[in-house]
Amino acid sequence: MRPCWRYCKAALPAAAASVVAANHHRRLLCDSSDARPPSAWQGLADYAKDQRGEADAGRGPQRPAEIDERYKRYFRWAQGRGHTGAEYIVLTGQWRCEPFGPWVALEPNIVPYSVDPGIEHWNLWYHPGTTPGSTNLDVEAALRHLRLFMPSVSEDEVVIWQNLPEFRSIPEVAHMHVFLRPGSGSRSASELQQLRTAWQLRSPWAEAERLGGRGQEVGF
């Protein structure tokens, strides 16, 4: 069986970018009005193989209502600080690159889809200074870029896709959705834990949530 990350195809180019402050009004893959169970690993792989078909059939990952509320809180927080969601990502991401390659940052998804225990939802962001937001991202390249942060990750520990254009809540910054299921006690699990801890210590959003009494929502 071919590794699931190979199945996902880059989506069609995005339409003209909209203002980030209004992004939460876009159509979302995760519409919580249609409650679904958490996505299993195979379900994520199936969605990666055929996003359009799965979405049209009413399948695919979803955010629960409480995560949607966190999303709204995040945009209010960003607006209160005088920046957009896209600007926050660009200014706080831990950017790395291959020689002469695009800048990429692997960050936890702060409003993750509902998935089975043991699966983590991250984003692989592409800096707009090297990759326009409407870029049709390449999955083979994305796996290489993922390994800039997790050198030990194996293909069967990853499902990757770029959302269809109508589901991209921050279209100004091109990104892949990365689902990780490292083996217990594996080197990749250790690498992921180190990345998570580093993010908690440097993220102003994580600190704001901790000070607001919601530290458990960001891993504290």
Residues of the chain short of pLDDT 70, as ranges, are 1-34
Per-residue pLDDT at 31 = 53
Per-residue pLDDT at 219 = 87
Nearest 5°: CA angle at 71, between 68 and 77?
Answer: 145
Distance CA 73, CA 65 (A): 13
Per-residue pLDDT at 35 = 72
Per-residue pLDDT at 99 = 95
User: What's the whole-model pTM score?
Assistant: 0.84
Nearest 5°: CA angle at 112, between 110 and 113?
Answer: 165
What share of the chain has pLDDT > 70, as a percent? 85
pLDDT tens for 51-102 read 999 999 999 999 888 898 999 999 999 999 999 999 999 999 999 999 999 9
The sheet with strand 175-180 has its strands ordered as: 104-108, 120-126, 175-180, 158-161
